[in-house]
């Protein structure tokens, strides 16, 4: 009986051990399955994200390509419309009702300028002053470097410009150069009047923005300036 009981106890212990081993195996298998499932889900998610990014990039590329093709197709039409519009604009600018400046005058920065070269015979400085006054303007008083550059640019269109009368003189007091608005020569910007002498009381403008004293009785072209 003792032997049988002993054998029975051994059998029960072995069965219990086998059950514990199976339980451990099941837990390990469950963990492995969960890990595999996580990896699979993560992989699928990353694949979906990469697919979405690729499709978005493809859509952007297609959009840019389509826009470029549309612009290329529209460019000839734009050129044609511009070509058709130019005569209309030209006609409008020649209409006195639409012009900011009188005929033969140039508009720049809120003012109208008349350059006499090619339009009038050369005049003495005083005669140039009178001409400008008759046209509700004055010989140009140059107030800043931008205006100087504008006038110089116009002068470069006429390579035979010897000089250009401007509204600067020391006829009231020798050596005291004043603009026609009574401001000192240095009031608006640094200006050095070169070749100053007792018999040279009128100023002319030359290339490079240089200003020279000249005989007022000399003949030359001039520039008038008025509000637009």
pLDDT at 27: 43
List Cβ neighbours of 162 (8 Å cut-off, separation of 6 or more): 206, 220, 221
Residue whose tokens read 């800043």: 144
Q: Is residue 88 part of a domain?
A: no
For residues 136 and 68, membership in a common domain is answered with no
SS3 content of the chain, % helix, strand, coil (to 5): 50, 15, 30
For residues 63 and 137, membership in a common domain is answered with no
pLDDT band at 69 (very low <50, low <70, confident <90, very high): confident
Residues 209, 148: Cα–Cα separation, whole Å: 7
Q: Is residue 25 part of a domain?
A: yes
pLDDT band at 42 (very low <50, low <70, confident <90, very high): low
Number of domains in the chain: 2
Judging by DSSP bridges, how do beta strands 211-214 and 193-194 pair with one another?
Answer: parallel
Q: Is residue 12 part of a domain?
A: yes
Average pLDDT for the chain: 78
How do residues 134-191 score in pLDDT, each as one tens digit? 999 999 999 999 999 999 999 998 877 779 999 999 999 999 999 999 999 999 999 9
How do residues 108-117 score in pLDDT, each as one tens digit? 999 999 999 9
Mean pLDDT, rounded, for 70-97: 57
For residues 43 and 120, membership in a common domain is answered with no
For residues 71 and 121, membership in a common domain is answered with no
Taking only Cα atoms into account, the Rg of the chain, rounded to an integer number of angstroms, comes to: 46
Q: Which residue has the higher pLDDT, 85 or 147?
A: 147
Is the sign of the CA dihedral 222, 124, 187, 112 positive or negative? negative
pLDDT at 198: 93
- Which residues are bridge partners to 114 per DSSP? 224
For residues 73 and 180, membership in a common domain is answered with no
pLDDT at 15: 46
pLDDT band at 224 (very low <50, low <70, confident <90, very high): very high
Residues 116, 103: Cα–Cα separation, whole Å: 12
What's the CA dihedral at 52, 54, 55, 59 to 10 degrees?
130
Q: Of the segments 25-34, 73-82, 108-117, which one has the largest average pLDDT value? A: 108-117
Integer angstrom CA distances of residue 41 from 34, 48, 78, 167, 194 = 10, 11, 54, 87, 88
CATH number for the domain spanning 198: value is 3.10.100.10
Residues 183, 177: Cα–Cα separation, whole Å: 9
- Domain final residue pick, 57, 77, 97: 77
Q: Which domain holds residue 58?
A: 1-77
How do residues 179-218 score in pLDDT, each as one tens digit? 999 999 999 999 999 999 999 999 999 999 999 999 999 9
Whole-number percent of the chain with pLDDT over 90:
53
- Which residues are bridge partners to 204 per DSSP? 165, 212
Mean pLDDT, rounded, for 60-78: 67
Mean pLDDT, rounded, for 36-50: 57
- DSSP summary character for residue 184: B
pLDDT at 52: 72
For residues 111 and 220, membership in a common domain is answered with yes
Q: Is residue 8 part of a domain?
A: yes
Q: Is residue 126 part of a domain?
A: yes
């Amino acid at each position: 009986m003792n032997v049988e009981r002993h054998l029975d106890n051994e059998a029960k212990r072995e069965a219990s051990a086998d059950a514990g081993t199976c339980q451990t195996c099941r837990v390990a298998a469950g963990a492995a399955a969960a890990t595999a499932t996580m990896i699979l889900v993560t992989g699928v998610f990353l694949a979906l994200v990469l697919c979405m990014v690729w499709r978005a990039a493809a859509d952007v590329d297609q959009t840019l390509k389509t826009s470029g093709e549309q612009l290329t197709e529209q460019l000839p039409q734009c050129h044609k419309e511009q070509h058709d519009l130019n005569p209309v604009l030209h006609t409008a600018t020649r209409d006195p009702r639409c012009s900011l400046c009188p005929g033969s005058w140039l508009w720049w920065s809120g003012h109208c300028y008349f350059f006499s070269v090619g339009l009038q015979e050369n005049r003495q400085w005083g005669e140039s002053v009178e001409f400008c006054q008759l046209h509700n303007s004055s010989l140009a008083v140059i107030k800043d470097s931008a205006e100087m550059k504008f006038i110089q640019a116009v002068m470069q269109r006429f390579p035979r410009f010897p000089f250009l009368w401007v509204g600067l003189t020391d006829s009231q007091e020798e050596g005291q150069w004043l603009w026609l608005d009574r401001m000192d020569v240095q009031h608006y910007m640094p200006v050095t009047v070169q070749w100053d002498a007792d018999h040279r009381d009128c100023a002319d403008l030359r290339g490079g923005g240089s200003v020279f004293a000249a005989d007022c009785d000399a003949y030359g072209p001039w520039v008038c300036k008025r509000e637009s």
